Amino acid sequence: EAQVTQNPRYLITVTGKKLTVTCSQNMNHEYMSWYRQDPGLGLRQIYYSMNVEVTDKGDVPEGYKVSRKEKRNFPLILESPSPNQTSLYFCASSLLGRGANVLTFGAGSRLTVL
Amino acid sequence: GDSVTQMEGPVTLSEEAFLTINCTYTATGYPSLFWYVQYPGEGLQLLLKATKADDKGSNKGFEATYRKETTSFHLEKGSVQVSDSAVYFCALDAGGTSYGKLTFGQGTILTVHP
């Protein structure tokens, strides 16, 4: 089944404790991206990657890092989490090409930072 | 910059009622437009899309027409069901140097009662 898999789905952590949210896709997509979803704000892009070893900032990159060492994986790293990073996170992927960019989303990772 | 504005929610309807969720956008050029749906506990999934002016996207009884003159992409369904209860997001892909980024509206919660 074609899918984007995120882990963990739920996490409660404390301020300053480094964490990684993994994301993997099995569709051979070049493009991958991370979004965060907050009430009343919709989804906002954190980082994106056009292909292996190619990453760039989205609209809200502060406090986050990413890497793209393999085509299928795109982990999101919070080096020193803070309470304002409490949110619902989505990883997404797509084939970039002509026409509209249709994203396939993971199920989401709900992060709480105390 | 690019932006999407959706009607304020939540929206509560009885089964078989008519649904309209308004969406307007601001973008330079000719964006592609999307409606995504998020069912409880799941990631977003594409509901429909339109890539140029006057295109009509449709799926599962939902429709939306790309209106360039009014910069709108309103979602409609003639007869809603309880199973349509979800959060609906309007989004645009501005193309060009946006590198596949989707800009989302804030989301509209739809609840359908039997």
Contact A4 B43 (CB under 8 A): yes
3-class SS string, A14-77: CCCCCEEEEEEECCCCCEEEEEEEECCCEEEEEEEEEECCEEEECCCCCCCEECCCCCCECCEE
Peptide bond into A8 cis (omega under 30): yes
pLDDT-based confidence at residue B8 (cuts at 50, 70, 90): confident
A63 vs B: CB within 8 A: no
Residue B105 CA to residue B92 CA, distance in Å, equals 9
**Mutation target vs B (from A47, A68, A105; most B CBs, 10 A cutoff):** A105
Q: Which of residues 40-79 of B touch A (CB under 8 A)?
A: 41-46, 49, 51
pLDDT of A106: 95
pLDDT of A99: 56
pLDDT of A80: 96
CA distance A44 to chain B (A): 7
Task: Over range B97-101, report the average pLDDT.
Answer: 74
Cβ-Cβ contacts under 8 Å for A50 (sequence gap 6 or more): A30, A31, A56, A96, B99, B100
Q: Which of residues 75-104 of B touch A (CB under 8 A)?
A: 89, 93, 99-102, 104
Mean pLDDT per 10-residue section of chain A, whose length is 114 residues: 93 96 95 93 92 92 96 97 96 76 91 96
pLDDT of A47: 96
Task: Over range B95-112, report the average pLDDT.
Answer: 86
Q: What is the DSSP letter of B101?
A: P
pLDDT of A100: 62
What is the tens place of the pLDDT at every residue in B35-90?
Answer: 999 998 889 999 999 999 999 999 999 999 999 999 999 999 999 999 999 999 99
CA distance B100 to chain A (A): 6
Of the two residues B13 and B97, the one the predictor is more confident about is: B13
Residue B93 CA to residue B30 CA, distance in Å, equals 9
pLDDT of B50: 95
Contact A100 B34 (CB under 8 A): yes
